Amino acid sequence: MQGEDDDWIGPWEGGAAGPGQVTRAEFVLMLRRQGIRDRRVLAAMEQVPREIFVASVGRREAYADHALPIECGQTISQPYVVAFMTEALDVAPEHRVLEVGTGSGYQTAVLAHLAGHVFSLDRYRTLVEGAAERLATLKLDNVTVKAGDGFLGWPQEAPFDRIMVTAAFPEVPQALKEQLAEGGRLIMPVGPEGGVQELRLLEKTPEGFAERRLMAVRFVPLVPGMARAL
Ligand code: SAH
């Protein structure tokens, strides 16, 4: 389908698509094959140009199904994990969503296609500034990003219908549980730094939290406090 721009992800590089370049259709097919079924999630993943969030690698690499390094020693999650977490969170157009761990802003952009508004914070100013620029380039105006400590959440904007944490810690921070609306959902990798972590999905009910364990994952750690440098 060479020549039909809208069938390819992102801008053309050098005019023509070479062999092995990934099309939007192939990227979505890969996610479908891995079990992602939610059409809204697949459509959101299709619309966000992943290559602008991982500028240091080539376009082909950007769409490969693995995590990649970003600035400040952090990582952007593999596409399948982004899609899986987004699907499990079940985000609707009226939802206010809190994301802890903006990183590159890729996951933020995917959430912005599904939610009413996304509030996202990261402990590195550099990352927040870079993410804000990319999100503005994509004209996603239903997003607010700021530098902040995820352990404190974002009390001024609480409660949230959905919360996604993209960094791991041995337990879900108390402030985040408190800032979740009743009936709301929270997803987060729980476990030690560098060890086996498990994605947990919490639902806030009148009786307390219902918890499901979804799958083993490996995330960078949630580190208390703002980063001093960078
Ligand atoms: N979702 C991101 C990847 C995040 S990597 C993406 O799509 O690119 C995890 C992020 O969590 C890192 O950027 C790290 O700086 C951030 N982080 C770690 N501890 C934090 C804390 N206490 N508060 C806010 N962000 C934190």
- Within a domain: 187: yes
Instruction: Report the CATH number that the domain containing residue 62 is assigned in CATH.
Output: 3.40.50.150
pLDDT tens digits, 27-54: 999 999 999 999 999 999 999 999 899 8
> Of the ranges 26-40, 54-68, 145-159, which one carries the lowest mean pLDDT score?
54-68
> Is 197 contained in some domain?
yes
Among 124, 179, 220, 228, which is best to mutate for testing ligand 1, by the most ligand atoms less than 8 A from CB?
A: 220
Report which protein residue has its CA nearest ligand 1's atom 14: 101
Report, as an integer, the average pLDDT of 162-176.
98
Helix (H) or strand (E) holding 86: helix 79-89
Burial of 137 by CB count in 10 Å (0-12 exposed, 13-18 middle, 19+ buried)? exposed
Cα separations in angstroms, 171 against 6, 58, 133, 165, 219: 43, 36, 32, 11, 14
Q: Is 144 buried (19+), middle (13-18) or exposed (0-12) by CB count in 10 A?
A: middle
Please state the rounded mean pLDDT for residues 130-135: 96
Question: Is the pLDDT reported for residue 2 higher than 50?
Answer: no
Residue 80 near ligand 1, beta carbon < 6 Å = no
Ligand 1 pocket mutation pick from 45, 52, 57, 74 by most atoms within 8 angstroms of CB: 74
Nearest CA to ligand 1 atom 25: 122
* Ligand 1: nearest atom to the Cα of 224: 22
Is pLDDT at 123 greater than 60 in this prediction? Answer: yes
Q: What is the pLDDT of residue 176?
A: 98
> Would residue 224 count as lying in a domain?
no
Total domains in the chain come to 1
Asked whether residue 20 carries a pLDDT value surpassing 60, the answer given is no
- Is pLDDT larger for residue 85 or for residue 62? 85
Question: Is the separation of the CB atoms in 111 and 119 below 8 Å?
Answer: no
Closest atom, ligand 1, to C-alpha of 149: 23
| pLDDT, greater one: 45 or 15 | 45
* DSSP classification of residue 169: B
Nearest by Cα to 162 from 224, 87, 221: 87
Distance CA 106, CA 45 (A): 10
Q: What is the pLDDT of residue 3?
A: 38
Give the C-alpha separation, 227 to 230, whole Å.
7
Q: Kindly state whether residue 57 falls inside one of the protein's structural domains.
A: yes
Q: How far is the CA of 22 from the centre of ligand 1 (A)?
A: 27
Q: Whose CA is nearest to atom 18 of ligand 1?
A: 222
CA of 166 to the centre of ligand 1 (A): 6
Q: Looking at the predicted structure, is the pLDDT value of residue 14 above 70?
A: no
User: Is any atom of ligand 1 closer than 6 Å to the C-beta of 123?
Assistant: yes
Catalytic site includes residue 104: no
Q: Which residues contact 164 (CB under 8 A, 6 or more apart)?
A: 85, 86, 89, 97, 98, 99, 100, 107, 111, 186, 187, 188
Please list, in sequence order, all residues whose beta carbon lies within 8 angstroms of the beta carbon of residue 167, skipping any fewer than 6 positions away: 100, 101, 150, 189, 219, 220, 221, 222, 223
Mean model confidence pLDDT for the chain: 89
Average pLDDT over residues 140-154: 97
Give the residue carrying structure tokens 């903006």.
102
d(CA 208, CA 205): 5
4 is a domain residue = no
How remote is the CA of residue 7 from the centroid of ligand 1, in Å?
32
- Its domain, for residue 126, covers 24-217
Instruction: Look at residue 95 and give its three-state secondary structure.
Output: coil
Nearest CA to ligand 1 atom 2: 103
Query: Considering the domain boundaries, does residue 15 fall inside one?
Result: no
pLDDT at residue 11 above 70?
Answer: no
Q: Is the CB of 100 under 6 A from ligand 1?
A: yes
Asked whether residue 18 is domain-assigned, the answer is no
pLDDT for position 7: 45
Strands 117-122 and 143-147: parallel
User: Distance from CA of residue 57 to its chain's centroid?
Assistant: 19
The per-residue pLDDT for 102 is 98
225 part of a folded domain = no
Quick one: tokens of 48? 């966000």
Confidence band of 114 (pLDDT split at 50, 70, 90) = very high
pLDDT band at 13 (very low <50, low <70, confident <90, very high): very low
Q: Is the pLDDT of residue 90 over 90?
A: yes
Probe ligand 1: pick from 66, 68, 84, 102, max atoms within 8 Å of CB?
A: 102
Cα separation, 121 vs 227, whole angstroms: 12
Do 98 and 163 contact (CB within 8 A), yes or no?
yes
pLDDT value, residue 21: 59
